Amino acid sequence: MIVIGLGSPFLSDDSVGPRVVRELVGRELAGVRLVESHAGGLLLLEELAGSQRAVIVDALLDERKKPGEVVMANIDTASHNAACSHDCSLPEALAIGRAMGISLPADENIRLVGIVAKDVSTFSESLTPNVAAAIDKACDIVCAYLSSNSASAEAV
């Protein structure tokens, strides 16, 4: 199992994915590899290779939701970084990787935990207040997902 925190550490709320991963380091997550990544698309294939399950934590841009809201979704949900604007979407990257013979998690075994962002373009190492307040909730959601899948992961 792998948990990938996506985002730039220098762009305000965009850094929420790596910040969640840093918080998860302090929790006991046996058998879980924690990774910070600063780009999505094809660049995620290297991190996902060999894993059977994955959680990707990223900033989510959704004007219908309030900043700081935490959402768990499948890979078709477009987070801020999972789809790289200079590359391809996560589903496209996975299809390319599988066509190349890379061992990747099945789509149904990949979850996106998105934290609705307010500001992903200001150069700052600080999160906006609502997004900062959502880090613990995002960590709890990731841990609950990992716990609920630990028995089924052992059976694979």
Phi, psi of 90 (to 5 degrees): -60, -45
Domain boundaries, the chain: 2-151
Please state which of the four CATH numbers 3.40.50.11810, 3.40.50.1450, 1.10.101.10, 3.20.20.210 is assigned to the domain occupying 2-151: 3.40.50.1450
CB 12 within 8 A of CB 128: yes
**Which pLDDT band, with edges at 50, 70 and 90, does 87 fall under?**
low
Three-class secondary structure assignment of 123-148: EECCCCHHHHHCHHHHHHHHHHHHHH
What pTM was computed for the model?
Answer: 0.86
Write out pLDDT tens, residues 30-76.
889 999 998 878 888 999 999 999 999 999 888 888 999 999 988 76
Radius of gyration of the chain (CA): 15
Cα(15)–Cα(8) distance, integer angstroms: 5
Asked if 48 and 1 count as a contact pair (C-beta separation under 8 A), the reply is no
Nearest to 82 by CA among 50, 59, 108, 52: 59
pLDDT in tens, 95-125: 999 999 999 999 999 999 999 999 888 898 8
